[in-house]
Chains A and B, each alone.
Chain A
Amino acid sequence: MSAILVEHIAKHFGTVKALDDISFSVDKGELFGFIGPDGAGKTTLFRILTTLIIPDQGKATVNGLDVVKDYRKIRQDIGYMPGRFSLYSDLSVEENLNFYATVFGTTVAGNYDLIRDIYVQIEPFKKRKAGKLSGGMKQKLALCCALIHKPSVLVLDEPTTGVDAVSRLEFWEMLKRLKESGITIVVATPYMDEAGLCDRIALIQDGNIMAISTPSEVIKKYPNSLYSVKSDDIFSLLNDLRKFPDVHTVFAFGQAAHVSFKPGQSAGSSLQDYLQAKGHSGIIISPVQANIEDCFMELMIK
């Protein structure tokens, strides 16, 4: 049985379609990622899964329980970490944790095993007010609070947004460890580089799921030939590349430009000549493997 099953869910707010006929399923014990930009519909979807809003149409179940009818039972089973920091800033770390433990009818000591790895990192600050923690520590505390009642499904809405690179890595390490203990984790993120850390991902844009697969499958399906192009003047490089005949897409990617050509076409040596003629120096052109971001961009164009 799937931990989460969503069939033809749609939700609109006024004239805005937040979700447009979405279907997917998440297996038990899976680490499932929703990758998409802000406003793609991730939060709306998560609020439906956590019984906070009712879909306009379609059916969704968590552990076989209907999100509309059995909302009370689902609320016992899931751990939810909203996108916005939603703990009490005027309570200390310890008090927040104790509060959520009591509200869910358990104690911190009772489920300490589950949160130990995470909690030890913030324990030195347990007397500090939650509002005075750094971004990364806030997220760790929020995760502890979401985990304290030993949920079977963990729903995390952009847990790493606004967190530094090191803390982000640490956070994903924790998620992997939680997954090993059998918890189903659904996580939303706008960061493409985090996609590779999930078992399966869904690329979501404007309320539609564009692709749903393992990260490597998504990459394998990338149809075009892709090159990384560097030169000393990246700005005019981007402009010149866009004018090159047969070019499909050009995106800036760090210090380089990712240039794609439709299947059957390739840059060949003519690109090098073209750029040299345009007066670029230090040109490096190398074929590269597509990453999730390239796939996302490609899917967006369709």
Chain B
Amino acid sequence: MKRFLGFVVKEFYHIFRDYRTLLILFGLPAIQLLLFGFVITNEIKNAKIAILDQSRDEVTRRISEKVLSSGYFILEKNLRSSGEIGQVFRQGNVKLVLIFGPDFAKNLDKTGNAKVQIIGDASDPNTANILVNYIQGILSNYIISLNAEKIPLQIIPEVRMLYNGQMKGVYMMVPGLMAMLLMLISALMTSLSITKEKELGTMELLLVSPLKPVQIIIGKVFPYVFLAFADACIIIILGNTVFGVPVVGSVALLLAESFLFICMALSLGILISTITNSQQIAMMISLVALMLPTILLSGFIFPVENMPLVLQWFCHIMPPKYFITIIKSIMLQGNGFRHIAFETGILAGFTLLFIFISVKKFRIRLA
């Protein structure tokens, strides 16, 4: 036990003397969260549009006002002819053109059928889609307000979004980032710290010493459990104070699940380091083989349900997917352990599997 403690103390020396890595360890989560929270967002504000109003009557003016006062749009230009449409799009600032047909108010009044056209710039399909939806929403609201005076027959759906009432993107980001950063720190750092000893030749002396493989492995991992756990807390606190992401469920349960996920990622890091001999390869594996699937296949950014079937199977063997499900369930829905027992079990299973393979594969010799 004393040997083991001596080893752990040495590991802490390594970590605390390497200022740069330490800075990354604690700076990265904060910066990432702020970046993802502020920059990557599905809400679009102040999109520039152009309007071609061929009737210039009271109704079109009122609709235009509604559109421009919604906060989503800024009028870049009033067009005079349809010839100008292609030109404004090519200039690149305008994302959408709204066109009112001639005699808009008259047609609406007489035939009840006025023509309006929305042209979006689909070189960025997501943005175009969202903007078009906004305009359609505004238009149909206007129609409903007109109808309210004339016909009493109407269906007005009352929509309520549960767990994230304002549809804030950052609610999605916090769980995703937790999974991503904990994975990065835990797996990358441990795999690096073990391969570093191999590279510097110090592993040669450790192997010749009476330390057991298990002691070396656990000793390496031990400090990172604390560091990663501190990072998890930073993300939760920042998410809560800066972005107002709530923790509806039990904080203790959330921390316990984070702890489990950290152990899983650490054991994965050990596994990587037992099968590689250089820091560079360990880094490549951690970054490419772990980070990309964590981001792409975990349901963090892209919904798993939309993927081709084969990719969906891959998603099911990605541990972060289960962790993201768990945190969302606890943080946003406030569920208890009963609802996430299955996911927890899977994470625990992964952890045991990785540790088992690592201990089996750990080389007690050099070659």
B18 and A80 within 8 A (CB): no
> Which residues of B are found within 8 Å of A53, using beta-carbon distances?
365-367
| Assembly CA distance A100 to B7 (angstroms) | 9
Fill in one digit per residue for A158-190: 1 if any B CB lies within 8 Å of its CB, else 0: 000000000000000000000000000000000
Q: How far is the CB of B187 from chain A (nearest CB, A)?
A: 23
| Assembly CA distance A13 to B202 (angstroms) | 22
A86-B200, A88-B10, A103-B7 known; A76+B365 contact, CB < 8 A = no
B202 and A88 within 8 A (CB): yes
B14 and A103 within 8 A (CB): no
Task: Kindly identify which residue among A51, A85, A95 contacts B208, using a CB–CB cutoff of 8 Å.
Answer: A51
> Which residues of A are found within 8 Å of B365, using beta-carbon distances?
51-54, 71
CB proximity to A under 8 Å, residues B177-207: 200-202, 204-207
> Which residues of B are found within 8 Å of A78, using beta-carbon distances?
208
Instruction: Using CB atoms, name the residue of chain A closest to B6.
Output: A102
| Assembly CA distance A267 to B204 (angstroms) | 52
A105 close to chain B: CB less than 8 A: yes
| Assembly CA distance A292 to B311 (angstroms) | 69
B92 close to chain A: CB less than 8 A: no
CB proximity to B under 8 Å, residues A56-85: 71-72, 75-76, 78, 80, 82, 84-85
> Which residues of B are found within 8 Å of A88, using beta-carbon distances?
10, 13-14, 200, 202
**Interface bracket on B:** 20 to 34
B209 close to chain A: CB less than 8 A: yes
Secondary structure call for the B interface: helix
> Which residues of B are found within 8 Å of A50, using beta-carbon distances?
208
Q: How far is the CB of A235 from chain B (nearest CB, A)?
A: 40
Residues in A lying within 8 Å of B, measured CB to CB = 13, 47, 50-54, 71-72, 75-76, 78, 80, 82, 84-91, 95, 98-100, 102-105, 145
> Which residues of B are found within 8 Å of A72, using beta-carbon distances?
210
Q: What are 12 A-B residue pairs whose CB atoms fall within 8 Å in the complex?
A: A52-B367, A71-B365, A78-B208, A82-B204, A88-B200, A88-B202, A89-B200, A98-B6, A102-B3, A103-B6, A104-B3, A105-B3
Instruction: Using CB atoms, name the residue of chain A closest to B2.
Output: A102
A52-B366, A88-B202, A90-B14 known; A99+B210 contact, CB < 8 A = no
> Which residues of A are found within 8 Å of B2, using beta-carbon distances?
102, 105
| Assembly CA distance A50 to B205 (angstroms) | 10
A71-B364, A84-B201 known; A90+B17 contact, CB < 8 A = yes
> Which residues of A are found within 8 Å of B366, using beta-carbon distances?
47, 52-53
How many pairs of residues, A versus B, come closer than 8 Å at their CB atoms? 81
| Assembly CA distance A89 to B5 (angstroms) | 20
Q: How far is the CB of A211 from chain B (nearest CB, A)?
A: 29
The 4 closest A-B pairs by CB, nearest first: A102-B6, A86-B201, A52-B366, A84-B201
CB proximity to A under 8 Å, residues B1-58: 2-3, 5-7, 9-10, 13-14, 17-18
| Assembly CA distance A156 to B17 (angstroms) | 30
> Which residues of A are found within 8 Å of B364, using beta-carbon distances?
71
| Assembly CA distance A99 to B13 (angstroms) | 11
Task: Kindly identify which residue among A52, A87, A145 contacts B207, using a CB–CB cutoff of 8 Å.
Answer: A52
B341 close to chain A: CB less than 8 A: no
B13 and A100 within 8 A (CB): no
Instruction: Using CB atoms, name the residue of chain A closest to B7.
Output: A103
Instruction: Using CB atoms, name the residue of chain B closest to A83.
Output: B201
| Assembly CA distance A91 to B14 (angstroms) | 8
B211 close to chain A: CB less than 8 A: yes
> Which residues of B are found within 8 Å of A82, using beta-carbon distances?
201, 204-205
| Assembly CA distance A82 to B3 (angstroms) | 22
> Which residues of A are found within 8 Å of B13, using beta-carbon distances?
88, 90-91, 95
